[in-house]
Amino acid sequence: MDNDEAVMNAATAESAPAAPPETGETGGAAGAAAQLAALAAERDQLEAEKLELADRLLRRTADFENFRRRIERERAELLEFASSTVVGELLPVLDDFERALQAGSSDKEYARGMELIYQRLLETLKRNGLEPLASVGQKFDPHLHHAVEMAADTDAEDQTILEERARGYNFKGRLLRPAMVKVAVKA
């Protein structure tokens, strides 16, 4: 049975955890202090990583919020000014109506009908944001006016608009088309 006992003792020795080497009372305290220092360092490292990740999350959240606001602002502008293209394409029709009304007609009822259609179209466009620019008698402003002719005039002040060839328009506060004007210059 000596062989059986030896095998049992060997199996028991293998499954039992190894006891730490005895280094005395001061050696055990130094080992525990070293373990505490290592754990504290690991804790500090994990805390730093946590703060870095929280900072990155905060920045990403702020970036996303700024992106969302910018997209909303651009969407609102797009919706607000999407109709400016259509209104811009209708301006030559308004010009044609104005020229037709200035030419006059021998048929008074026809002329009155043309004027009513013109007024209705103009009022509809005004309700949707179209604003005609007043030009005659104003000072020439290159941001609002396009000078197509300059004329020497002793009666008018220099750079004053004498005549409007085509009316200028703003659409919802933005210049849609500059006025085409005749400007007075000193001789």
Kindly state whether residues 170 and 135 are assigned to the same domain. Answer: yes
Question: Which residue ranges of the chain lie beneath pLDDT 50?
Answer: 1, 7, 13-21, 23-24
pLDDT at 26: 58
- Pick the last residue of a domain from 82, 102, 123: 82
Domain membership of residue 166 (yes or no) is: yes
Kindly state whether residues 137 and 167 are assigned to the same domain. Answer: yes
Kindly state whether residues 74 and 95 are assigned to the same domain. Answer: no
pLDDT at 27: 65
Kindly state whether residues 128 and 96 are assigned to the same domain. Answer: yes
Supply the CATH number for residue 118's domain.
2.30.22.10
Asked if 64 contacts 85 with a C-beta cutoff of 8 angstroms, the reply is no
- Tokens 């301006």 correspond to 91
> How many separate domains does the chain show?
2
pTM score over 0.75: no
Kindly state whether residues 97 and 157 are assigned to the same domain. Answer: yes
Kindly state whether residues 99 and 161 are assigned to the same domain. Answer: yes
Kindly state whether residues 178 and 117 are assigned to the same domain. Answer: yes
pLDDT at 18: 47
pLDDT at 132: 93
pLDDT at 42: 94
Asked if 181 contacts 148 with a C-beta cutoff of 8 angstroms, the reply is yes
Residue 104: which domain range? 84-185
Domain membership of residue 67 (yes or no) is: yes
The pLDDT mean for the chain works out to 85
Name which of 163, 153, 138, 148 is nearest 184 in CA terms. 153
